[in-house]
Structure 1
Amino acid sequence: MKAYLRDSDILRRIPPRELAAYLRAQGWHQISRIGDKGAVWAKDEGRDTAEILLPLDPSLGDYVLRMSEALQILESVEGRSQLEILKDIETVSGDLIRVRVQRRDVHDGTVPLEEGVKLIQGVRDLLVAAASAAVSPKPYFHSRRPNRVTEYIQKVHLGQTEQGSFVVTALSRVTPELMRGQQMLLFDDGEPPFERQVTMKLADSLVATREAAEVASSLGVFDAFEEGVERGINANLCQALEFIGDEPEVMQVDVRFSWAPIRPISRPISSYVSFPSDMLPIIKEAGRMLKAISPVEDVELRGVVVNLARELDEDAGSVVVYGFLDGQIRRVKIHLSHDQYQLAIQAHDRKQPVVCYGELVREGNGFVLKSPRGFRIERVAEE
């Protein structure tokens, strides 16, 4: 059954540039132009040639009519409904991420309001995790985000929900790929724009997470998750997946990608990955462990020096500080320069507290403060 678009408001809202990008992606070519009012596009269909007159100015009196005619021609050429074609036109300039939750209690394409909000938040968290990994892969990202990640998330659009259990869509727009004739640019580094890097990183990281979960399920080891950090696995991604599927009624979480036609994918990449519900507890535990092994940046350590160690022929040395971390007293080892070590000796002898900043890393059963800076004796106010 064919569905014709008669709504003039919908037709008038179709941007000429979006339709032009869609036509180009479908193999159409502009053959002539009528000033700034219209352009003629053509496509060979066997022995025949289909033509579309694309209006360029939405203020023209016949803009709606010409858009309606264009959709009718595309419907005839593609053998698809105008509604399907319109949906693809609307998303032609962006990568579309569809996250589907298959639930036992969904039969009409709806979910409880709270669950819908939770799913949208989970999709947002997936994109934040992928964008953070695209900037710099790490096992875990703390609350402070790089500006590039924040700017990217602000540009992502939430699409219409779709039927099929319950599907949330997110549109990540990308810039079109342009060529200089048939030549490659001399100094082009070949890297896609950051928006495409994020969606590709999300696809790669989800596949890596699925593979790591399968290994963990078979062998009971965590290693594959840690090895997959460079591919984009991180605790935040694992937590987002578990958050989306953390309900007894959830049977499976599916993620599907549709890549923007205006910028072809530069390498083979998966467009679909699924996570059955029995895999999510493994992913949850992996997220906890990734967070546990992740360095904590910009830590302020306050405590007392309880141990000093230095080789006879070395100027630098190591100290152990008893200090508070996460509300608990911890033994933290610090490798100090000559001047810092001299201050540590003084603090130890006088039983004075010290302050130091750095990156906290768990090693074995203990902690190490790496890249120490600002090591000083804390002056205690006299009563």
Structure 2
Amino acid sequence: MSAEKMMSAIDLRDFLRASGWSLLQEGLRHRLYVLSNPSYPKRQLVFPMDTNAPDYEEAINRVLHKFGELTNQTVASLISAVSNLRDDVLKLRVFFEGNDRTLPLPFASTLVTNAEKMLKSGACTVLQPRTSHPKLSLTEAVQFVEHARFGQTEEGSFILNFSFPLNAMDTQGKLPLDDDIHVPFVRQVTLNLEKAISELVEAIEADTLDALVDGLKTSQMPLISANLCDALAGMHDEQVNNAIDLTFNWSSLRQHPRAMRSLPLRIQSDYFSRIEEVHRALKAVDEDEEDTFIGTVEKLEGVMGSDGKRSGGVVLALLLPEGEIVRARTMLDADDYAKAGEAHMRNGSYVRVTGKLRQGRQPRQFVDMTSFEVLSGGATAGN
């Protein structure tokens, strides 16, 4: 079934009305939507009200092509806009030099995890503005992510689509982002993210990060949190050396209160280290986590010693108490390295490690280890 056939006539009608077209009542008697626009006095857009009409698909396709010609938009972009009529949409594009047809799987997983962390941090800031959130587990923030949808990828390197139904939540935040106090909570979150990331990028480019951080620390309603910076910094992979573009598309049923941004927010590859500096400056309690963690062995980086045994670095995927998985690098002696090799080769095998997990970009450093043991398959945190 084509996109035109699946498209709701009501959604197309509402999209066109939000774009400045007016509905002519006389067409309704003939089961037709007829719309006109004073900017195009000799044009009308006409399509059936009933999706089972014999010419429905042809009529919708004709309207989309005509509207696209008038507004210089592609039919594909219009179909996407109509399908997301009631959603705010965030497009996150990863781009880099070289072979852009593949991404390292651990980085792809980390990218999605940090995108979720970014969305939760935006929701937490709207609910309780502060420079550092101890946990991103506020009920409304979790619900915001649960209501979000992960859309199809697009052409143009790696593009992740996240859509947020505008009226999914009956919640009000505390952060003043618009003169209208009745702004839906979902729009408050997307507005916060756009404004916060924009201010962060502008401060990096203008070399005013120190002033930005000082202002955030004294503000009663800070837009930017350490958690947001941590999430953004986690979207960079040193080997890939990628950059990130973020594009916000607002539901046409509720216009953006400011002028629409024509270009995406670009975080260049050399910006991420500066964002990490802001994360550290804003973090309220930048203490290392000393605990016992359950995880898996993701990568072996050791070297052969003169005794014929391997030792050295390994990369672990550790489960944190709040449910987040982070990558961490640690150094192992020959005995523990042999255990790590065993766990790496055995499907479903977990390890339990005790030590200190340092703050910072992934892979984080895991130091002062006091124990390293391999668990049987199926072990979970807390066992």
Taking structure 2 as the reference length, the TM-score comes to 0.62
Q: 1:40 to 1:221 in 2, by over 3 A?
A: closer
Q: Deviations over 1:339-372 (max 9, x none)?
A: xxxxxxxxxxxxxxxxxxxxxxxxxxxxxxxxxx
Task: Give 1:105's aligned amino acid.
Answer: G
Q: CA, structure 1 residues 256+231, in 2 after alignment: closer, same or farther (shift >3 Å)? A: farther
Change in CA separation of 1:76 and 1:168 when aligned onto 2, cut-off 3 Å: same
Gaps of 5+ in 2: 169-178, 288-383
- Shift of the 88–141 alpha-carbon distance from structure 1 to 2, 3 Å rule, reads same
Deviations for 1:299-318, whole angstroms, at most 9, x for unmatched residues? xxxxxxxxxxxxxxxxxxxx
Question: What's the secondary structure of 2:44's corresponding residue?
Answer: strand
Q: Aligned pair 1:10/2:26, yes or no?
A: no
| Correspondences of 1:128-139 after superposition (within 5 Å) | 128-139=120-131
Tell me the equivalent position of 1:123.
115
1:50 aligns with 44
Partner of 1:314: none
**In the aligned structure 1, how far is the partner of 2:143 from the partner of 2:274?**
32
State the match for 2:252 in structure 1: 261
What are the superposed Cα offsets for residues 39-80 of structure 1, whole Å, 9 maximum, x if unpaired? 222234545132312x33334444323323322332443344
Would you say 1:235 and 2:226 are equivalent positions?
yes
Aligned residue in 2 for 1:27: 20
Q: 2:240 aligns with which of 249, 252, 256?
A: 249
The partner residue of 1:210 within 193, 201, 205 is: 201
TM-score (norm 1): 0.62
Distance 1:59 1:24 in 2: 23
Count of aligned pairs:
275
Report what 1:93 is aligned to: 86
**How many angstroms does 1:263 deviate by?**
0.8
Counterpart AA for 2:227:
N
Cα deviation, residue 155, structure 1: 1.5
The answer as to whether partners of 1:205 and 1:231 remain within 8 angstroms in 2 is no
Answer yes or no: is the 8 Å Cα contact 1:155–1:172 preserved in 2.
yes
- CA deviations on 1:11-37 (whole Å, 9 max, x unpaired) are 221122321122112221110243594
The equivalent of 1:77 in structure 2 is 70
Distance 1:228 1:209 in 2: 15
Structure-1 separation of matches of 2:31 and 2:109: 44
Secondary structure in 1 aligned to 2:46? strand
Q: Residues 235 and 288 of structure 1 are in contact (CA less than 8 Å); yes or no, is this contact kept in structure 2?
A: yes
* CA contact 1:212–1:225 (8 Å) conserved in 2: no
Match of 1:290 among 272, 277, 282: 282
The answer on whether the counterparts of 1:139 and 1:229 sit within 8 Å (CA) in structure 2 is no
Q: RMSD over aligned Cα, in angstroms?
A: 3.2
Residue number in structure 1 paired with 2:348: none
CA contact (8 A) 2:245 2:265 kept: yes
Paired residue for 1:67, among 37, 60, 71?
Answer: 60
Structure 1 stretches of 5 or more lacking a match? 1-7, 177-187, 296-383
* Distance (Å, rounded) in 2 between the aligned partners of 1:232 and 1:79: 35
Match for residue 313 of structure 2? none
- Give the CA deviation at 1:87: 2.1
Percent identical: 23
